[in-house]
Structure 1
Amino acid sequence: MRLPSLITLQMLEASARHGSFARAAEELSVTESAVYRQIVALEQRYGVCFFQRAKKRISLTSEGARYVNEIREQLQQIERATKELAARAGGKEVVELAVVPTFAAQWLIPRLSSFARQYPRLLVNITARADPFHLHDSRFDAAIYFGHAVWPGTTGSCLFSEGPSIPVCSPSFPKHEQVLTRQDVTKLPLIHLASRPDAWPNWLGGDNEDLRLAASQGSRFDLFTMVVSAAVSGLGAALLPKILIHSELERGLLVPLLRDTQDDIVQEGSYFISHRTDQMTKSKIDPFLSWLVEESESGMQLT
């Protein structure tokens, strides 16, 4: 039996992932008609209908879903092996990381120059992934994520707890030096992280419903980096984990609102890493894990 070409399988997988021939074509830098023709030819060759068509949207049939799931992992392995081949040809190896955006921007990337100096033959590619996924069904060597435990079915470890959060603002923020109590804080414009709507109410209000209501007011931003940027820009006060704003505090871009921060809230979560254990990955993951543990320990000491 003559097997489908690699490009045909890529077209099929991309169409299934996007639910669109047009978007698959855009990803693969071909025309939409080329994608459509190849998939129709594949259906005719094997007598199988891969997609149900409804106007401009397409969805996989049960048989199509089964086949795509079976070939997706193989395509990812081919892609991964090819990238590894190209890297080794240049004397390098590549570590493919999926990282929660906050950790990547605020903690990992600012430290990567240290890793590059220690391991010049290893390159680190970072992709932002906020939601859990099946590591072994992906193209990634490892994933760093926020949660309460190592992902089921994976090999991994806890890097560190997120630790305490403190109220901060820009040093140019009007009247920040006059803030002496938590009640004073409620009079300021407050900046909220959308995924943690109760952070300010819990820190300021406790069981006091009036204070909780006052603390729930203010602007909301989807990303942690947006909250940091808003606070640095002087839009208001933000409640942020100290371990993730070490650089901003050190450079004076942010300052604590209160002198006494002994009652900081502690988030019930930690940063974890899960990684592959196959022999091909071990030679590059082991050095990265060792470096990451060292940086985690020194990062905790700094904060």
Structure 2
Amino acid sequence: MGLRLPSLQALLVFEAAARHMSLTRAALELNVTPVAVSRMVARLEDALGFQLFARTKTGLALTDEGAKLHVAVALGFGQVSDTITELKSRKEESETVTLSISSGFASQWLLPRLERFQHAFPSVNLRLQVMASRLYGPLDGADLGIRLHKPGSEHDALCFCPELIIAVCSPGYLAEHGPLDAPRQAGGHTLIHLEPTTHTWADYFELTRVMNHASAKHASYSDPGLALQGAMLGHGALLGWLLAVAAPLNTGAVVPASDRLVETGCNYVLECRTREPSGSVRKVSQWLIDEMRAELAKVAPILASLERIRSGALN
């Protein structure tokens, strides 16, 4: 048998009036007129068959019946509110956050931090959408994604990392072959190419005026993560984007292969799929930004030792 209860709207109005002991203050809270509150309370009293308020010279006073009903209604609404809050919190805590990133960034920056991420967000399931190509275009269903933006994007609140291009190699490769700026006569260099890319070795040599590369050998990769792995293993020199090489530069897995870097003026920005992301997505995005800021601060002395060549024309 179903419960026969007054309308929830009437009980809500009664609870506000009883809590404030004022029709006027209840009306302000509910964004209605005091007359509307008074009429709703009167209809509720008619439906129940007993008075809820006694009208005195000093204002409202709850009757015995009204006081008992107020305790029950306040308790009921409170439990409903607490349950809704708990359910929302549980849903947010168990949320899956999808991140769209490059393979180089995933393998060299994010995966070594995965344990720290899981400690910070024990109930968030992280799903990676790894892109082997350049970081352009829509997020395609991902909640967050790193994308390359034009100059001026450094003012974006979610600006993640500047686009700096650095020739890198393993310490062992550098010891054997010397820097690109002054290669040793025996053997020459091996240049690792990434295809497709925004800046090629030809672009780099034109910008930096490094000329001693005529005898270089060549190796090509279509995946940035594999190309960076090849450079770390000593297979050659690679044009590395700071987004992916900041971490291996800081650990010493790679070192600059030249005393010059290319600064495009563009920036990698952490994009959100919606204008009103969930609490988990907001927290994850801030965690990623804070972690990258710490990484960039650590790599800053290495970058400061290199000459910056500015170019925005090749993007």
Sort the TM-score into its range (normalised by shorter chain): 0.5 to 0.7
User: In 1, distance between residues paired with 2:146 and 2:128?
Assistant: 10
Indicate the structure (1 or 2) with the bigger Cα radius of gyration.
Answer: 2
Deviations 1:76-129 (A, max 9, x none): xxxxxxxxx9x9579622112222333222323322322221221222111113
Q: Secondary structure of the equivalent of 1:117?
A: helix
Contact 2:158 2:270 in 1 (8 A): yes
1:112: which partner in 2? Answer: 114
- Does 2:288 correspond to 1:286? no
Q: Secondary structure of the equivalent of 1:143?
A: strand
2:159: which partner in 1? Answer: 158
Query: Superposition pairs for residues 80-91 of structure 1, below 5 Å?
Result: none
CA gap of 1:160–1:219, structure 2 versus 1, over 3 A, is same
1:234: which partner in 2? Answer: 234
CA gap of 1:240–1:139, structure 2 versus 1, over 3 A, is closer
- Alpha-carbon distance, 1:300 to partner: 0.9
Q: Secondary structure of the equivalent of 2:113?
A: helix
User: In 2, distance between residues paired with 1:232 and 1:106?
Assistant: 11
Q: Secondary structure of the equivalent of 1:235?
A: coil
2:193: which partner in 1? Answer: 192
Query: Superposition pairs for residues 28-47 of structure 1, below 5 Å?
Result: none
Contact 1:231 1:237 in 2 (8 A): yes
Instruction: Select which of 121, 124, 129 maps to 2:123.
Output: 121
User: In 1, distance between residues paired with 2:198 and 2:215?
Assistant: 10
Instruction: Select which of 297, 300, 303 maps to 1:301.
Output: 297
- TM-score, with structure 1 as normaliser: 0.55
- Alpha-carbon distance, 1:218 to partner: 1.3
Q: How many corresponding residue pairs?
A: 207
User: In 2, distance between residues paired with 1:89 and 1:198?
Assistant: 43
2:304: which partner in 1? Answer: none
Query: Superposition pairs for residues 1-20 of structure 1, below 5 Å?
Result: none
Contact 1:98 1:143 in 2 (8 A): yes
Q: Gaps spanning 5+ residues in structure 1: where? A: 1-84
Query: Superposition pairs for residues 118-267 of structure 1, below 5 Å?
Result: 118-129=120-131, 130=133, 132-135=136-139, 138-148=140-150, 157-171=158-172, 175-177=176-178, 179=179, 181-182=181-182, 184=184, 187-196=188-197, 198-206=199-207, 211=211, 214=214, 218-258=218-258, 261=259, 263-267=260-264
Deviations 1:231-277 (A, max 9, x none): 2233222232345224434444333335xx2x322244322122144
- Alpha-carbon distance, 1:183 to partner: 5.5
Deviations 1:8-50 (A, max 9, x none): xxxxxxxxxxxxxxxxxxxxxxxxxxxxxxxxxxxxxxxxxxx
User: In 1, distance between residues paired with 2:278 and 2:92?
Assistant: 19
The percentage of aligned residue pairs carrying the same residue is 21
- Does 2:270 correspond to 1:270? no
Contact 1:190 1:215 in 2 (8 A): no
Moved over 3 A (4+): 87-91, 129-135, 179-186, 196-199, 202-208, 210-213, 246-253, 255-258, 276-279
CA gap of 1:296–1:250, structure 2 versus 1, over 3 A, is closer
